[in-house]
Amino acid sequence: MSVTAILQKVPLFSQLAPVELERVAEITRERSYPRNSVILFEDDPGDALYVVATGQVKVVLIGEDGREVILSVLGEGDFFGEMSLIDEEPRSAHVIAMEDSNLLVIRRGGRDLRRPAGPVAIATASTMVVAILFGIISGELNPVPSWPSHGWLLLVGITSQSVGYLVISISLPRLPAALVSIILLAQPVATVVLARIIPSLDETPSLDQLLGVVLVIGGIAAATIPVGRLRDRARGALA
């Protein structure tokens, strides 16, 4: 079932026009949670609304003695987290998956239009300061501009580092979390691969770079393995 079809069954969105519903679907992420995994912790920031697409979750409070107090059980089509979006208060309870569940997550967008540019400006300024300090320490800093090397450097700084990072910071919240993680982790791998296959660069990866590629690919593989499902299947096979 499509995201739009699921949202249409939710009372909160059932009265929206098709165009408006499509806009909501565009900013919706799909997340999977294995059984007994914690979806939300009490006192977490209230920045998202959750819709149960499949499965079942429970809203609980944990007493001082460690016992669970179940406040409600939510199934397909139910939603939670809407009050935190309204009052901007932290989460008031834990939410735990009672079985393997798929949820739709709709996060609150930033209200400050300057926010995406802030991290970009900080990252660019930090890179500049570190590069200057390294150049001074190594004795390789040449503050006198030369053409065309500094021209190309300025072009890269404006396009790739400033404009590119700004576009990325704006678009990432609209993408699924898993896709964002893979893109960010795969970027250095792609850099090493492209540097090797582009003839004009004629770069040979060092041992450290190859080791980094292996670690990144291994990390992505480990993070995407459905450990909970494999564990349940193993238990079922042994039972």
Task: Between 160 and 96, name the one with better pLDDT.
Answer: 96
Say whether both 162 and 226 belong to one domain: no
Cα distance between residue 76 and residue 59, in whole Å? 14
Report how many domains make up the chain. Answer: 3
Say whether both 8 and 90 belong to one domain: yes
Say whether both 188 and 206 belong to one domain: yes
Q: What's the pLDDT score for residue 226?
A: 58
Q: What's the pLDDT score for residue 127?
A: 75
Mind giving me the DSSP string for 145-184? --TTHHHHHHHHIIIIIIIIHHHHHHHGGGS-HHHHHHHH
Q: What angle do CA 162, 128, 177 make, to 5 degrees?
A: 45
pLDDT digits (tens, 9 = 90+) for 51-61: 999 999 999 99
C-alpha closest to that of 224 among 216, 233, 212, 213: 216
Say whether both 200 and 158 belong to one domain: no
Say whether both 160 and 132 belong to one domain: yes
17 has a pLDDT exceeding 80: yes
Those residues whose C-beta lies under 8 Å from the C-beta of residue 7, and which sit 6 or more positions away, are 13, 21, 24, 25, 28, 51, 104
Output the domain CATH number for residue 68. Answer: 2.60.120.10
| pTM for this predicted structure | 0.50
Which of 48, 82, 107 finishes a domain? 107
Say whether both 100 and 126 belong to one domain: no
pLDDT digits (tens, 9 = 90+) for 173-229: 556 555 666 666 677 777 788 777 877 666 788 888 888 888 877 776 776 665 555
Say whether both 25 and 84 belong to one domain: yes
For the ranges 67-81, 155-169, 220-234, which has the lowest average pLDDT?
220-234
Which of 149, 174, 199 finishes a domain? 174
pLDDT digits (tens, 9 = 90+) for 106-153: 887 544 444 555 666 676 678 778 888 888 888 888 777 777 777 877
Chain centroid, CA 167 distance in Å: 15
Task: Between 193 and 161, name the one with better pLDDT.
Answer: 193
Interior/surface letters 53-79, b for 16+ CB within 10 angstroms, e for the rest: bebbbbbbeeeeeeeeeeeeebeeebb
List the domain range (segments joined by +) for residue 19: 3-107
43 has a pLDDT exceeding 60: yes
Is there a contact between 30 and 53 (Cβ–Cβ < 8 Å)?
Answer: yes
